[in-house]
C-alpha cells in the first residue's frame, strides 16, 4: 500500500481501494498536492468535522468520484452532507464497516467536534493495519487498540500539542501502541502546533519513526 501525507492530518492510502483520510486540501497551508492530483477515490474517511479535517473538499471529492464518506453518524446527518446526495456510512465508536477489500473501524479520541464525537480510525486493507488517531489527547485505553485490532503496521499520530498530544505524550502513545512504524501528523501547519520532530524521535527511542513531509509517500 502506498501512503502519501498530503499535509496536516490529511493522508491518502492507495491500495486495492483509494482512501482519503481527513480531507483538507483547499486552504491547507501545508498541502503539497492539489485536488486535481488526488486519484479517483473509493472512500473518504473523517475523524471529526473541525474545518482542518473535513472541509468542503470532503463533499466535493465524494461527488467527483462517487466515493463513500465513512464517519461518525452525526456528520453524515449534516444538512450539507444530506443535501449533497453523496454515498455515506454513518457509524459510531465501536462500529466497523467492511466490504470485500477494506475494513474501517471507529475508535475513541479525546477531543471535541462540531457534530458527534471525534474518533480515531483503524483501516485494514491489503493485509495491513493502519491507525489514524485523529485529533486526540493521550488516553490509557489506547492499549486496547492493538489488543482488539492486532499489531499495527502504521500509526499516524498527532504531535503538534495545543489541540492534541505533543511530542512527549505522542511518544508515550507509541510505547502503548507498539506500531511497526510511526509517522507523526498534525504539526507545523500553523504556529500554535509547531513541533520538534527530532525531539519526538528521541522520545521514541527503540521505535521506528519516519518523518514524512507533506507531499511525500512511503510504502507499508
Ligand atoms: Ni480538531
Ligand atoms: Mn485538528
Q: Give the pLDDT of residue 95.
A: 98
pLDDT tens per residue across span 76-109:
999 999 999 999 999 999 999 999 899 999 999 9
Q: Which three cell numbers stand for residue 140?
A: 490509557
Q: Indicate the average pLDDT of the chain.
A: 98
Q: Give the pLDDT of residue 100.
A: 86
State the pLDDT confidence band at 184, using cuts at 50, 70 and 90: very high
Instruction: Say how many Å lie between the CA of residue 21 and the centre of ligand 2.
Output: 12
Nearest to 146 by CA among 171, 129, 166: 129
Q: Which three cell numbers stand for residue 23?
A: 480531507
Distance CA 220, CA 207 (A): 16
Instruction: Say how many Å lie between the CA of residue 52 and the centre of ligand 2.
Output: 5
Of all ligands present, the nearest one to the C-alpha of 49 is: 1
State the pLDDT confidence band at 112, using cuts at 50, 70 and 90: very high
Q: Give the pLDDT of residue 32.
A: 87
pLDDT tens per residue across span 36-72:
999 999 999 999 999 999 999 999 999 999 999 999 9
Of all ligands present, the nearest one to the C-alpha of 190 is: 2
Of all ligands present, the nearest one to the C-alpha of 48 is: 1
Instruction: Say how many Å lie between the CA of residue 93 and the centre of ligand 1.
Output: 17
Of all ligands present, the nearest one to the C-alpha of 8 is: 2
Instruction: Say how many Å lie between the CA of residue 112 and the centre of ligand 1.
Output: 6
Surrounding residues of ion ligand 2, Cβ less than 5 A: 52, 135
- Burial of 103-134, coded b for 16+ CB within 10 Å and e otherwise, reads ebbbbbbbbebebbbbbbbbbbbeebbbbbbb
User: Residue 24 above 90 pLDDT?
Assistant: yes
Distance CA 54, CA 23 (A): 6
Instruction: Say how many Å lie between the CA of residue 85 and the centre of ligand 2.
Output: 26
Surrounding residues of ion ligand 1, Cβ less than 5 A: 50, 135
Q: Give the pLDDT of residue 167.
A: 98
Tell me the average pLDDT across 111-118: 98
First to last CA, the chain: 5
pLDDT tens per residue across span 118-177:
999 999 999 999 999 999 999 999 999 999 999 999 999 999 999 999 999 999 999 999
pLDDT tens per residue across span 7-16:
999 999 999 9
Instruction: Say how many Å lie between the CA of residue 14 and the centre of ligand 2.
Output: 23
Q: What's 54-109 look like in SS3?
A: CCHHHHHHHHHHCCEEEEEHHHHCCHHHHHHCCEEEEECCCCEEECCCEEEEEEEC
Instruction: Say how many Å lie between the CA of residue 100 and the centre of ligand 2.
Output: 31
Of all ligands present, the nearest one to the C-alpha of 113 is: 1
- Indicate the SS3 state at residue 5: strand
Q: Give the pLDDT of residue 181.
A: 98
Amino acid at each position: 500500500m502506498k501512503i502519501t501525507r498530503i499535509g496536516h492530518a490529511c493522508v491518502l492510502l492507495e491500495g486495492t481501494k483509494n482512501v482519503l483520510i481527513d480531507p483538507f486540501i483547499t486552504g491547507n497551508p501545508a498541502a503539497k498536492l492539489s485536488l486535481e492530483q488526488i486519484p479517483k477515490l473509493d472512500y473518504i474517511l473523517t475523524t471529526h468535522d473541525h474545518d482542518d479535517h473535513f472541509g468542503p473538499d470532503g463533499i466535493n471529492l465524494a461527488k467527483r468520484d462517487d466515493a463513500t464518506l465513512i464517519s461518525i453518524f452525526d456528520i453524515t446527518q449534516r444538512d450539507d452532507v444530506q443535501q449533497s446526495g453523496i454515498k455515506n456510512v454513518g457509524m459510531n465508536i465501536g462500529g466497523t464497516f467492511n466490504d470485500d477489500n477494506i475494513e474501517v473501524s471507529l475508535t475513541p479520541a479525546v477531543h471535541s467536534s462540531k457534530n458527534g464525537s471525534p474518533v480515531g480510525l483503524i483501516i485494514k486493507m491489503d493485509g495491513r493495519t493502519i491507525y489514524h488517531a485523529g485529533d486526540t489527547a493521550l488516553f490509557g485505553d489506547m492499549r486496547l487498540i492493538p489488543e482488539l485490532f492486532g499489531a499495527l503496521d502504521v500509526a499516524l499520530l498527532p504531535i503538534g500539542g495545543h489541540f492534541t498530544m505533543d511530542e512527549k505524550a505522542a511518544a508515550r502513545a507509541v510505547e502503548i501502541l507498539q506500531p511497526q512504524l510511526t509517522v507523526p501528523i498534525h504539526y507545523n501547519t500553523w504556529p500554535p502546533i509547531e513541533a520538534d520532530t527530532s525531539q519526538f524521535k528521541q522520545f521514541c527511542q527503540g521505535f521506528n519513526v519516519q518523518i514524512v513531509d507533506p507531499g511525500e509517500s512511503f510504502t507499508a
